Chains A and B, each alone.
Chain A
Amino acid sequence: MNTTYKKSLAVEGGNFDNAGMASIEIKKILKDLNIHDDILRKTAIAVYESELNIISYARNGRINLIVDDNEISIDVQDEGPGIEDIELAMQPGYSTATEHIRQMGFGAGMGLYNIKSCSDRFEISSTVNVGTHLKIIINRGNNL
């Protein structure tokens, strides 16, 4: 295969009813591209947690997926409150989630930590009152 696949999905902040829809769509795409199960799972988790972060905290956002022969790149950009202390936000268990988010089983403070754990390369930048930008790279581990 010598192609690059691209997909961009919009995610609406606060729309909990649809939480996970973008991730499931991306997972289907990756399955169709014959991505290996372990890589597929890591990518799906990273995208799902990213999607939930946009829905939980931002006004809106976008997930950009690029798949090439070597890696899966996920670029997540949102417009929202941003993160004041990134180091603190990365700590497992730290959360600013509302009761509503917690009632759905999320907001345990594992989101960013999970995303980083699933990534081979992970970058985060954020500007308060502007938004947050995640760059997630997952190696495909083969050249299929």
Chain B
Amino acid sequence: MTLGEVVKVLDAKLLVGEDRHLAIEVKTAFSADLMSDVLAFAKSGSLILTGLTTPQVVRTASILDAIALIIVRGKTPPQDTLKLAHELDIPVLSTNYILFETSGRLYANGIVGCVEKIGGINNSKL
């Protein structure tokens, strides 16, 4: 699905981003509030779903070349987070759905996890 369709499915607000971003095709996602886990397991070109709103979330997304950040549980990120997202060209969506519902709604629409499961921590392939 496209990022525009993601916005509709999640009844989300596009806090940072432009029309050109909405056409981007999305296939995978990763949900976590631990940025270290996002760094360890998320793949480039994915959505990152999180309840954290600090600027570090945006930097983590940028390091990973994430397609967009989806802030769950109706949180509004502080201005410095949004400003950084704008500077680094990372679209930011905000949805009132909880993380479980957000993930479930995307999965029901064909988005899958970056990795299905971790095959024992020492076997995890980055």
Inside 8 A of A92's CB, which chain B residues have their CB?
A: 121
Whether the pair A41, B64 counts as a contact (CB closer than 8 A) is yes
Give the size category of A's interface with B. Answer: 20 to 34
The distance in angstroms between the C-alpha atoms of A37 and B44, with both chains bound, is 9
Whether the pair B124, A117 counts as a contact (CB closer than 8 A) is yes
The distance in angstroms between the C-alpha atoms of A27 and B54, with both chains bound, is 21
Whether the pair B65, A41 counts as a contact (CB closer than 8 A) is yes
Give the size category of B's interface with A. Answer: 20 to 34
Answer whether A45 and B63 are a contact pair too, CB < 8 Å, given A104-B54, A106-B56: yes
- Total A-B residue pairs with C-beta atoms closer than 8 Å? 81
The distance in angstroms between the C-alpha atoms of A65 and B66, with both chains bound, is 24
CB distance from B118 to the nearest CB of A (A): 10
In the assembled complex, 18 residue pairs joining A and B whose CB atoms fall closer than 8 Å, in A order, are A19-B56, A20-B55, A20-B63, A23-B63, A24-B59, A24-B63, A37-B44, A37-B65, A45-B64, A48-B63, A49-B36, A49-B39, A105-B60, A106-B34, A106-B36, A108-B36, A114-B39, A117-B126
Whether the pair B56, A20 counts as a contact (CB closer than 8 A) is yes
Which residues of chain A from 1 to 53 have any CB-CB distance to chain B below 8 Å in the complex?
16-17, 19-21, 23-24, 27, 37, 41-42, 44-45, 48-49
